[in-house]
Structure 1
Amino acid sequence: MQAKNNRHRLGLLFVVFAFAAFLDANREPGNAEAEFYHEVARATICLHSVMEKPSLETIQVLHFLSIYNTISGNELAGKETSMETPWSLVALAAHLAHTLGLHRDGLKWGLSADVTARRRVVFWNLFVADVWNSLETGRPPTFSLPYIDCQFPGGGSPDGNGHIDTNREVFWGSWTFRFASSCVADVAARTLTSDSPSYSTILELDRKVCNFPVPATVEEFAATASGAIPMKPADKDIGLTESVGRFVMSISREVILLYLHRSFFAQAIVENPINPLNSSYTPSFLAAYRASLTILRIVKVHYDLHPKLTAMFWPVWTYALSAAVSRVRNDRDAWPTVTYGLQLNGRAS
């Protein structure tokens, strides 16, 4: 058992090396060293079946391989970008997490505080990946909240009231996990069913997402991106971790809102192409319009701050392209926005 764990632990080390090489600002994306470590990590975890007595390292390396394939655009089969391999790796990791009982909190089993803390981090990061992959692929999520009592890293349970800890050490991770469990999971559960959700359900989910609290710094970042307030000189000097945290939190809400309203946005245009504001789906038309514009502005602000890093993550540009397409209307005023979105994609490529 120990030898097998060491093999998967070694695979985890190599995939971390792959990330380090891939994200090195002094190298070109998709460099040979990153791919070398990626292939070594894949080979290492195959030295022992991941299905037989998996460990935390087994689950972590599968999850990290999924992330690497997502950001690198290097599909295992065919060297091309798709969601199949990342989705399959996350799904496998999620099933193995059930094997280890990661959805149940370790303190109830008498595990040490250190082991319990690590289990919580591994589980909730995997939960976030699973539920977002579910929305992006249209497939059912693996985890179901009624069966989960694993506490959030830093404390708190998924059945809490959504309180955001203002401690700067935990505000980034805590918000991501809470938003995924409270909002993203609910959106997936109620929109990916075999029967299409009612419009009242969409509006209810919209209110839930919009009312979910975010840290004040994130609200300020979103307001800056929208042009409501000017950017402070100090905003350009914040650390990379906090900058990325603000970006992820800001864009997450808008992506979910665009996802919720895009079909009814289209129906509003079909119902009243001259003036969609007079259609039955005016709330969706406005929500999708605002979300798409905010996404484009947030991506631009973050690209201006961290151009190389932002350009590396192609999922960001899929959101930007979706937002640009949603802004196309039956009048010429939309075309400057579309051109603006395409220019952003061109600069990143």
Structure 2
Amino acid sequence: MNGKETMRGKGVRPCAECRRLKRQCEQVFPCKHCAKRGLAGICPNGELANGSRRVKILASTEDLHDRIADLEEALKRVTSPDHPLLEKALYVNNVQVHHHENGGSSSISPPNSDAVDNPSSYGHLTLSDDPKVSRYYGAASSVYLSKRPNTTSLRSQDVDDLDFSEFLSPFPTRDAPLEVTEIMARHLPSAHTGRELAALYFQTCGWFMDIVQESSWDSAFFNHVYDDHGTPPDSQRLAVVLLVFALGALMDLSQPPHCELSKQLLFAARICLALDRSHSVMYIQCLVLYATFLMNGDRDTSGGDTVWPLLRLGMGVAEAMGLHRDGSAWGLALDEVNERRRIFWEIQGYDVLQSIGLGRGQCIADYAIDCAYPEPDLDHMFHIKTYELTRIWSRINDRQIRIRPSTYSEVTEIERALRNFQLDLPEYLSPGVAPSPMDLTNPSRQKMALQRNMILLFINEARLVLHRGWFVRVLKEYALEPLHSPQKQSYLDCLEASRRIVGLVRNMLALHGLLIHRRWHFFFHLFSSCVCLAAAAIRAPRSSLSRAILSELDAGVELFRITKREELNTIDKLWNHAFRAVNASSTSSSSSGETDTEDLDLLGARKTCRRSRHGADLTTVDDFAYPISDIRQVETANNLLDFDMDAFLAEIGAAAL
């Protein structure tokens, strides 16, 4: 009996590689087939993962590969993604890469930090009658803008000299420029009226923006314009004064919205800007104030897309001036350094916030900025914290517009940064401060309450944008019960952010209803929250959370009903759709089966293209605010803890990981 027969008699099996290839193995190891193919080192127990000669992977070393994956993740954190040891070519093939990044299992498991998001949507394109004229929105809730009624063509129209449409540009295009003295004689209000308008500006705008400081207003601006120095003031300084007056008049609650005085003052400031377009800090102040007016103007000018070119101009000037680099490097005086820092972070925060809302890239990337924050003090801590939050917003925007796929670990890392930021807030800005009736009567307490709600609104807006892509993916892949998804945390975080935004906007309406109604920003993000809640109810009506979601959606829709916003038609339609879907699910064993995709379209889940017809006017809602008299007292109606999502999830055994 020879050696081979002896081995067979003892039950020796063929090597793993020959079994995989279904070849006859001589059962003398290393066998001839493996030795010939250069695989003697893995014979008899090892095999190639899928036949590739490029990479040898032992069949019995899964733990080793898991360890390698952990080391790669650690390497990714301390190096760039382009490190040669992180190349996907080192894997056997793209299928294995996908398997590796998604945990290799379809069972319910903790979210894999390396799960890869789908490439971003192409977004939304609106075409004019002229195909060469179009407007683009990225994959964001800003498709809301593309669906708003258009009363004007995308192409600029010829207008009368005093038509407010011309105010979209800060520079006159027809009239010969007036001299500063003529502008003052024709448009500058009396000193008494000017002080009243400035006081209105700082009362209604100064709590959320610090582009012009009340402490230096008289010495830096007001006195230069109204005191007789023998020479006219600088035209840019006069423009700042007129724009502050214009915003004060715009937010004057004793006057109808968009009063003529505010438009006349804006027009005068526009003429001043045409006299001197030189790059200066005051020039940037003018552009930010001008953009703020347009953002909150009437129907022809309101909306983020209107101010986009203006912010790009301002950011270009800021970069040309080197404001994104810290002024201390050049040995400037501390006051000048702090002013440059403050002006830069004001316009940078504005630009990043608008970029995220429109799904477009910020002008100056965060890695190109070394400008420090201004020296902190108690009166300006809110503004310093918004500057810090801008850094996190920048990371979200980078991920939002990126073409290449991003991993789930990036989402969890940014979410961790948001949570840490919220934990580090000063006490008066923290969510632990309960609403109080004094917030309605004490001006100082009201300002702090508005700032607290504003910073929390910013945080939850960031969380909503961060998780929205994974939220949509979970709804698509786990429609029966989204809580079974490995990425359920994004689903829960998106719902929680939406719920909190509804509560925060309700808080602010109770604090200062008519003023908040004139601020477009709040209703933009309230709209986004309602869309997320509606999508969750429509796409997963049989979920254990669907009834609670519908209740929160109803609270958000009620705010649009109370304020009589023009967005009510769209929101009401989604609410009816969600209500039908949830009710139908309780009497049917299947999901709603609806084919309408408006909810996902509004979340930026698909690419859309529509053609705008010139002159179409679909507006049906009056744009004047009504007193919000039926909102209950702030201590009862606005408690953010009126529905404890965490406690509810714990009760049903679905607490977050």
TM-score by length of 2: 0.47
1:145-160 aligned at under 5 Å gives the runs 145-154=366-375
**For the residues of structure 1 that align with 2:428 and 2:443, how far apart are their CA atoms?**
11
Contact 1:130 1:143 in 2 (8 A): no
AA of the residue aligned to 1:57: M
Name the counterpart of 2:304: 83
Q: Which residue of 1 aligns with 2:415?
A: 206
Q: Residue 161 of structure 1 aligns with which residue?
A: none
RMSD, matched Cα? 2.3
Alignment-derived partner of residue 269 in structure 1 = 475
Pair 1:217-2:421 in alignment: no
Preserved CA contact (<8 Å) 1:254 1:294: yes
**Residue 561 (structure 2) aligns with:** 346
Counterpart CA distance in 2 for 1:293 and 1:154 is 35
1:160 is aligned to none
Cα offset, 1:43, TM superposition: 2.2
Q: 1:335 aligns with which of 550, 555, 558?
A: 550
Letter in 2 for 1:170: H
Displacement of 1:47 after TM fit? 2.2
> Structure 1 residue 262: deviation in Å?
1.5
Secondary structure, in 3 states, of the residue corresponding to 1:196? coil
Cα pair 1:191 1:197 within 8 Å, conserved: no
Q: Does the residue aligned with 1:140 lie in a helix, a strand or coil?
A: coil
Please, which moves more after superposition, 89-98 or 234-243?
234-243
* Residue 320 (structure 1) shift: 0.9
Quick one: which amino acid aligns to residue 33 of structure 1? L
- In structure 2, C-alpha distance between the alignment counterparts of 1:7 and 1:34, rounded to whole Å: 19
1:184 aligns with 2:393: yes
1:32: which partner in 2?
260
Tell me if the contact between 2:359 and 2:400 (Cα under 8 Å) persists in the aligned partners.
no
- Is the 8 Å Cα contact of residues 461 and 501 (structure 2) preserved in structure 1? yes
Task: Kindly provide the amino acid, as one letter, of the partner of residue 277 in structure 1.
Answer: L
Partner of 2:362: 141
Q: Which amino acid aligns with 1:20?
A: G
Structure-1 separation of matches of 2:402 and 2:232: 40
SS in 1 for 2:363: coil
Is the CA contact 2:450–2:511 (under 8 Å) kept in the aligned structure 1?
Answer: no
Instruction: Give the corresponding residue for 1:44.
Output: 272
Q: State the 4+ residue runs in structure 1 displaced beyond 4 angstroms.
A: none
Show the counterpart of 2:643.
none
Does 1:13 pair with 2:223?
no
Q: 1:200 to 1:5 in 2, by over 3 A?
A: farther
Q: Flag the 1:290–1:300 CA change in 2: closer, same or farther, 3 A.
A: same
Q: SS of the residue aligned with 1:46? A: helix
* Cα separation, partners in 2 of 1:307 and 1:46, compared to 1, 3 Å: same
Given the alignment of the two structures, is residue 117 of structure 1 paired with residue 338 of structure 2, yes or no?
yes
* Contact kept? 1:73, 1:314, Cα under 8 Å: no
CA distance in 1, matches of 2:484, 2:298: 42
Paired with 1:263 and 1:251, the residues of 2 have a C-alpha distance of 20
Q: CA deviation at 1:238?
A: 5.3
Letter in 2 for 1:31: C
Shift of residue 63, structure 1, vs aligned partner? 1.3
Aligned-partner residue type, residue 427 of structure 2: A
Larger Rg: 2
Task: State the shift of 1:168 in Å.
Answer: 2.4
Which amino acid in 1 is paired with 2:429?
A: V
Deviation at 1:60, TM superposition (A): 1.0
SS of 2:458 mapped into structure 1 = helix
Higher mean C-alpha displacement, 249-258 vs 231-240: 231-240
Relative contact order, higher structure (CA 8 A, sep 6+)? 2
Aligned to 1:170: 380
**Contact 1:154-1:170 at 8 Å conserved across structures:** no
2:527 alignment partner in structure 1: 321
Stretches of structure 2 lacking an aligned partner (at least 5 in a row): 1-230, 565-657
Counterpart amino acid of 1:120?
R
Aligned residues: percent identity? 24
Structure 2 CA distance for partners of 1:57 and 1:319, relative to 1, 3 Å: same
C-alpha deviations, 1:46-82, integer Å up to 9, x for none?
123x2xx3111111101111111112245xxxx2433
Give runs of aligned pairs for residues 188-267 of structure 1, distance below 5 A: 188-212=397-421, 213-219=424-430, 222-223=431-432, 231-236=435-440, 237=442, 239=444, 240-267=446-473
**Amino acid of the structure 1 residue aligned with 2:386:** T
Alignment of 1:100 onto 2:305: no
Cα distance in 1, alignment partners of residues 495 and 254 from structure 2: 38
CA distance in 1, matches of 2:464, 2:502: 12
Do the aligned partners of 1:5 and 1:57 also contact (CA within 8 Å) in 2?
A: no
Structure 1 residues 239-297: Cα deviation after superposition (integer angstroms, max 9, x where no partner): 24322211211111100111111221122122122211012321111001111001101
Q: 1:36 to 1:290 in 2, by over 3 A?
A: same
Give the Cα separation in 2 of the matches to 1:87 and 1:73: 17
CA drift of 1:83 comes to: 2.3
Q: Tell me the distance in 1 between the aligned counterparts of 2:476 and 2:552.
A: 21
Q: After the TM superposition, which of the residue ranges 146-155 and 230-239 deviates more from structure 2? A: 230-239
Q: What secondary structure is seen at the aligned counterpart in 2 of 1:72? A: coil
1:297 and 2:503 matched = yes
Q: Please say if residues 140 and 192 of structure 1, whose CA atoms lie closer than 8 Å, have aligned partners that are also in contact.
A: yes
Contact 1:106 1:150 in 2 (8 A): yes
**Contact kept? 2:324, 2:368, Cα under 8 Å:** yes
Once residues 146 and 272 of structure 1 are traced to their aligned partners in structure 2, the CA distance between those partners, rounded to angstroms, is 37
Instruction: Tell whether the 8 Å contact from 1:268 to 1:281 is kept in structure 2 after alignment.
Output: yes
Structure 1, unpaired ranges of 5+: 156-166, 225-229
Instruction: Give me the whole-angstrom Cα distance separating, in 2, the residues matched to 1:303 and 1:337.
Output: 17
Counterpart in the other structure of 1:164: none
From 52, 56, 63, give the equivalent of 2:288.
Answer: 63
State the match for 1:158 in structure 2: none
Q: Once the two structures are superposed, what CA deviation does each residue of 1:294-313 show, in whole Å capped at 9, x if it has no partner?
A: 11011111111111111111
Deviation of 1:4 (Å): 11
DSSP 3-state at the match of 2:234? helix
**Letter matched to residue 19 of structure 1:** L
Alpha-carbon separation, structure 1, partners of 2:504 and 2:404: 34
